[in-house]
Each structure stands twice: as structure tokens, then as C-alpha cells.
Structure 1
Amino acid sequence: MKARFLMCAPQHFEVAYVINPWMEGNIARGSNPAAMQQWSALLALLRHHAQVDCISAREGVPDLVFTANAGLVLESRVLLSNFRHAERRPEEAYFSQWFVEHGFEVLALPPDVYFEGAGDALFDRRLPLLWMGHGHRSDPAAAAMIASLFDVEVEPLRLVNPHFYHLDTCLCPLEGGALLYYPAAFDAVSQERIATLVPPELRIAVGAADADAFACNAVNCGRHVILNQASDNLCAALAAHGYAVHQTRLSEFMKAGGSAKCLTLKLTEARTPALALP
């Protein structure tokens, strides 16, 4: 089955407030034409490998473009996000309406439990496991609730660097079982859990320069990895694992703290076959 993603065009995208360090100093400093050009290039690139649906852009919700935060999808069900920051909460109703209209069963956590969708929850591609980030946006209490709702094993990972406020800014599970990640974004316990669960030959650790270019905020479709920018060394490491790297400039969205993965939500998430966890 061809992968399917959700995106939202940036007609109303701008940095209008500050809710992460990337936004500081960038209010009203973006270029909407440049954002549209960069987003369109990402869309065209992704359409070579997948189907893309689009939710309509709306005034007053500039971060609606970051569809990864709409919710967590598994098969025909979606768990909607409960955003921590008031500035993003109006997005919830628009995403909910889209999912209902497109045949998804919509689930919700209690309103006092913050959870920011596939920004903080990523399915491993080798293990029957959901990695869940917490520490900045999502609450650790969400882990047990998600495990119960979806009948999945959830591995919480604590994020410690505010520049990597969502899990998808610093970790990307790749089809075939490799894991692209920035170790310094996690506390020592979480780094150890990753090392325990993912064998060294499948771990692709990036350095600070690649992390700051949001190399881990990548869209993976089969053996294709689409990202903003990657060093020659990282491209070589990914190629050695069998992945083709596609770089596409997304500097306008980085002003708001987002890149390729943030701009997409995979809608065709299936369960990973059972495998004994270490």
C-alpha cells in the first residue's frame, strides 16, 4: 500500500508568537512567498514516493502547517493532540473535523493531559514499540493512556534540550529498523534505553551541527529520507544503511522550530509485527 501523508499549505503561516527557542527573534521576520515555495518543493518531492492529502489552511492558526502535531494515527484511529500552549489549541477543532470527515475514529485524552501527537510519538519500524517524548510539551502520564488505548508498548524518552522540544526534532525511526537520532537531546536514562533496545549497527547518531539543521526531523518513505539539510558524513552513513537522502531547503519553517517531519503526518500507520523486546 502506498504511504499517505497529511499536509497543510502555508497561506497563513508566520511566526506570530514565541513558544520555543527557535521562534525567539523571528516574529514577523518570515517571507510567506518563500515559505510557499519551500513547502511546495517538499510536497512535490514527497509526491514522488507517497500520496498526499491536504487540510485547508485557516487564518489565526499559523502553526496548522505543522500537521505532525494533529494527533497520533494507528490504522483507522487517531488520538487527537491536547496542546500545551494556548496559541495552538484552536488547531484541535480543525484537525478533529478533518479526521471525522475522512473516516477516522477520533480518540481523546483527558483535557488536563498534554500530548502533541506524532510530534512526540513515533512508531519504531523494527520493534512493536511507540517511542514517546516528554519533558517539554507532552506529559509523561500520556504514555500509559496511549498504551491502553492502542494496545501498544510505549517507551517514554525524556527530552532535556529546549531546542529539541518535540521527539521528532531529534529522533526518526526508519523503515528497515535503523534509528536516526541526536543523543544529546535526551537524558542519560533515555539514552541508555535507546542503546538497550536498538543494536549499535542500527543506530545512526548525529552531531550537533546536523541536529541544529533538523536532520532528524526527516520524512521517511520506504528507503527515501527527505530532510532540510545533512552533512556529507550523515548522508554517507544513511547511504551505508541503504537510504537515499533528499535535501530540500525549509529555512522559513525552521524560524518557527519546524522542518520536514513537522510539516507532515503519516496517515497509513500499521502495527509492527510482534517481536520480543530486549
Structure 2
Amino acid sequence: MNMGFESLQPTLIDTGSSAAFHANPHAQQRNPAGINRESRPHQPPLLMRAPGRSGLDTVGLTSRQQQGASVRAMRQWHGLHEILARHRRIEMLASGSDPACSPLVAHAGLAFRRKWVPARASGGMRLHDDLHLRHVAEGFGFEPCDLPESIRFGGASDVIHDAALEVLWIGVGPHCELPAAAGLARLLDIDTVPLRLADPRFERLDTCFSLLPGGVLLWYPPAFDADSRALVESRIDALRRIAISENDALAFACNAINLGSALVLHRASARLKRELDDAGFTVIETPLDAFHKRGGSARSLALRVG
């Protein structure tokens, strides 16, 4: 699919060209409003928000169906929370009653290198709870920074940090446009590599691309255009790439949270489990399909802020 984007090229950092980006130099350490701090203080925290009834896709459902969908989503969210809380410190955002306060917190922005970069929708629109999230980020010691208002940016769900190559892979698609890659490179002082999403079923990078410890890549190649696939294959050795099936991709297997050698995800086929086991990983499954229509699963529901 030709999505009409310019040629994708990696962006190398240029520390002398950041004048177009605005940061708050007075970020203070404080307890963020609306946060409930849970245990495990020595682990990098994960930010989560429980789903409210209005935070789900209930269009076309009767009142009884909406209630059932809410109960199901809450049950699934608690299942994920219970698993993660055994291994990581969880920071809880207040849910609120506004539809914009989504439990898919990874769509809200990116926390990286002590900076918080908020997501922006089409036309430079901020998220409804943008100000609250800025205060939360400051409370964790992150400096709120902005891309130019004209740039659409999908938050952490369109950014994957590659610790082995020390680059950020950027998903270019409906929620994140190409200039965001160059902007993040300058703002965060790191090289970026944009990848064009070419399958409308996968609107965000973390639904079809996941980097695991040790530089292992879990991905669904048909979600990308030919140039992007070639770029990935040129940078990541074939022995470190695990290409998943269409069924696994549609089950959001790439949208996983890694806890060391364990991967928490909605569902994986027997074949994928064997491949991951051969690579040294154990799969922990927990139902999360209540959130799939909104474009997220495990990784989208927990934002790393450490």
C-alpha cells in the first residue's frame, strides 16, 4: 500500500537544531496528582489506568451490552494488573469519567531519557487530559517537551527503543507522521529509524513490532511496506528475527510486555510459543481482547515511566 509518505530515511541526531522544540526547564519533583503508588520501589514503574465505562468502544451496543463490556474489560484489566504487580511497581492514574481518559496509556505520550513527549492527534490537537499527564510526568522527574503543533504523534505505541542498536524505531501511519521521527531525534538526542505501516489493521507500531531483551525482534513483516521490511532486515540479523503468523498478529502477540525472560500477552499460538521458548522466553497469556478494537493490548495498557 502506498500511503503517500516521503522516502523513509533514518534520522541521525543533530544537537544543534532543536530550537523548534519547547521544553519546560522548571520541572519539579513532586507527588503527581491522581496517582496511587503501589509497592516494588526498586523496579522501573509502569503507569496504568483502570478502564471506566466510557473508556471502551461501546458504539452500537445496548445499555445491557455496554455494562457487560465494561465488566469484561475491567476483569481483563485486573488480570493484567495482577500479573504485572508481582514483578513491577505500578503507578495508578485516576480513571475519571471522560471518554478521552483511555486505559491505553501508551497512546498518551512517550517517556524517554527523562523527557515526556505528549501525543498529538490530527491538526495538532492535544489529548483531553494532556495537562494532567504533564503534571504526572513532572512528578516522576520527567521534563515535559513538545513536538511542533503541526506534527501528529501517536505516543509510546509508535516508538520502540532498540537498546542493542541504540535507536528508536518509529511507526509512520495513521497516528504518527514522518516528521515526528526527525523531531524525536533532535528532542531526545538519539537516532531514529522510521518504518511505514502498510496494513490498515495495524495502525500503531507496537501492534506488529516488538523488541525483546537480547535484541530479539518479534514482528509481523506484512504490516510494513517493502522498503521498511528491507530496512529492518538490514539492521537486525535473521537469527534474531521471529516473524509471527497473521493469526498471532491479529491476536496482538506483538503487543507484549517483557518482564525479563517472560512475555505477557493476550494469546500466542503453540508454534510461536515454541519459537519464543527456543529464544529463551516464556509466554504468560492473559485475555485482553476487550481492548483490541481500540488498537491496543498488554503493552498499550502499561506505560513504562522509569
TM-score (norm 1): 0.88
> In the alignment, does 2:183 pair up with 1:145?
yes
Q: Which residue number in structure 1 is paired with residue 144 of structure 2?
A: 106
How far apart in 2 are the matches of 1:27 and 1:46?
33
Show the 5 A alignment for 1:127-166. 127-166=165-204
Residue deviations 1:208-240 (CA, integer Å, cap 9, x gap): 000010001111121111000000000111111
> In the alignment, does 2:227 pair up with 1:189?
yes
How far apart in 2 are the matches of 1:146 and 1:266?
18
Q: Does structure 2 retain, via aligned residues, the 8 Å contact 1:224–1:243?
A: yes
How high is the sequence identity, in percent, across the aligned residues?
34
Give SS of 1:59's match: coil
Q: Does structure 2 retain, via aligned residues, the 8 Å contact 1:84–1:138?
A: no
Q: Which residue number in structure 1 is paired with residue 34 of structure 2?
A: none
> In the alignment, does 2:84 pair up with 1:46?
yes
Give the drift of 1:84. 3.0
How far apart in 1 are the matches of 2:150 and 2:124?
13
Q: Which residue number in structure 2 is paired with residue 22 of structure 1?
A: none
How far apart in 2 are the matches of 1:87 and 1:248?
34
How far apart in 2 are the matches of 1:201 and 1:138?
30
How far apart in 1 are the matches of 2:100 and 2:51?
8
Give SS of 1:65's match: coil
How far apart in 2 are the matches of 1:85 and 1:168?
23
Give SS of 2:229's match: helix
Give the drift of 1:87. 9.3
Q: Which residue number in structure 2 is paired with residue 171 of structure 1?
A: 209
Of 27, 46, 56, which residue of structure 2 is paired with 1:5? Answer: 46
How far apart in 1 are the matches of 2:45 and 2:200?
30
**Against the structure 1 CA distance between its residues 27 and 160, is the aligned structure 2 distance closer, same or farther, given a 3 Å change threshold?**
farther
> In the alignment, does 2:56 pair up with 1:14?
yes
Q: Which residue number in structure 1 is paired with residue 277 of structure 2?
A: 239
Give SS of 1:82's match: coil
How far apart in 2 are the matches of 1:62 and 1:160?
27
Amino acid at match of 1:222: G
Give SS of 1:156's match: strand
Q: Which residue number in structure 1 is paired with residue 133 of structure 2?
A: 95
How far apart in 1 are the matches of 2:56 and 2:136?
22
How far apart in 2 are the matches of 1:150 and 1:14?
32
Amino acid at match of 2:91: D
Amino acid at match of 2:49: C
Q: Does structure 1 retain, via aligned residues, the 8 Å contact 2:116–2:134?
A: no
How far apart in 1 are the matches of 2:296 and 2:125?
16
How far apart in 2 are the matches of 1:83 and 1:57?
21
Q: Does structure 1 retain, via aligned residues, the 8 Å contact 2:123–2:150?
A: no
**Against the structure 1 CA distance between its residues 135 and 27, is the aligned structure 2 distance closer, same or farther, given a 3 Å change threshold?**
farther
Q: Which runs of 5 or more residues in structure 2 are unaligned?
A: 1-41
Of 122, 127, 130, which residue of structure 2 is paired with 1:84? Answer: 122
Residue deviations 1:136-182 (CA, integer Å, cap 9, x gap): 11010011111011111100000011110000111111111101110
Give SS of 2:122's match: coil
How far apart in 2 are the matches of 1:121 and 1:159?
13
How far apart in 1 are the matches of 2:305 and 2:172?
23
TM-score (norm 2): 0.80
Q: Does structure 2 retain, via aligned residues, the 8 Å contact 1:170–1:216?
A: yes
How far apart in 2 are the matches of 1:81 and 1:231?
33
Q: Which residue number in structure 1 is paired with residue 112 of structure 2?
A: 74
Q: Which runs of 5 or more residues in structure 1 are unaligned?
A: 18-24, 269-278
RMSD: 2.0
Of 192, 196, 205, which residue of structure 1 is paired with 2:243? Answer: 205
Give the drift of 1:133. 0.3
Large movers: runs of 4+ above 6 Å = 25-28, 85-88
- How many residues align? The count is 261
